Amino acid sequence: MTEKKSLIISTMQGMQKEIEGVLPANYITDKKKYLKNTLRAIQRNPDLMQYTYQKSTCFKLVFEIEKLARVGLQIGGTRPQAYIVPFKSHPCAIPTADGYRFIVTAGKNPLFKKVNLYPIYKGDKFDLDESNGIFKKKESTGDNFNKDIKDFQGFVFVAESFDNDKTVKKVTKNDIEQHRRFSPSKEGAIWKNHYMRMAEKTAYKHVLRDYVGLCEGLSIIDELEREREKETPTEKSTALNADSFSQPAPVIENKKEEKKKESSVSDALDID
């Protein structure tokens, strides 16, 4: 039986100029490296490679790449800001928490000069006044590395504008779980093994959805996710007590050694 032939390299070569043309030069200084890292990320994922054997799905995959390139989000590399994942019968591009942070602080027409998420655990003490943009931590219950997820209460989103005004919003664990209910991967390994990473991304999305109309980057991400299941939380969020609401939980990235099968992936694109 003849092995199916992947079309991704020839498709990327054919659309190389179009993709390079939309890459923002001030964010992506090495366009060739961007395309190579993107190709590596696809070839390392068998679930993505399934889209490369037919012209229609291969073009959809490259179309997702082009949209992420337009807002300067990195795909693959040491610290990706976005992933492309299988969704039903087509690929779907999704930003990480760093992707949302990038869009609103460094993307085209940035909304804020700084944004942070502060996770809150049971027993933490702090001052919080959303209407006046005040958040001040008084007492933390300990090392966030050793926190149990069941003690996690939510996040406080703090953003600083270019006029030095502060925006403070509370995102409860209940808010996050409401969003999770409508996620295709709600019971998948990504939520079970990387709960805080997913919760952080969901919290950014929850807050920043109010700014989609003001920011081109967020509008593009909204367009990317439009075909995914609608997020329409219906249950009333449970308010958290002020004494049960610390600094951001450190991010630990699992860097498993991969068995490389990329004989000449670096040179797969004819971009010399």
In tens, the pLDDT along 14-46 reads 999 999 998 888 888 889 889 999 999 999 999
Report helix angle 97-105 to 195-208, nearest 10. Answer: 30
CA-based nearest residue to 95, from 195, 177, 228, 204: 204
What is the reported pTM?
A: 0.75
pLDDT > 90 in the chain, percent: 35
Average pLDDT over residues 81-94: 85
237 token code pair: 């969020």
Average pLDDT over residues 157-182: 93
In tens, the pLDDT along 197-217 reads 899 999 999 999 899 888 888
**Residues in CB range of 8: below 8 A, 6 or more apart:** 39, 42, 43, 49, 52, 58, 61, 62
Beta strand 82-87 pairing with 90-95: antiparallel
Instruction: Give the whole-angstrom CA distance, residue 52 versus residue 62.
Output: 9
Average pLDDT over residues 181-190: 76
pLDDT for the residue numbered 135: 92
pLDDT for the residue numbered 144: 61
> Sorting pLDDT into bands at 50, 70 and 90, what band is 170?
very high
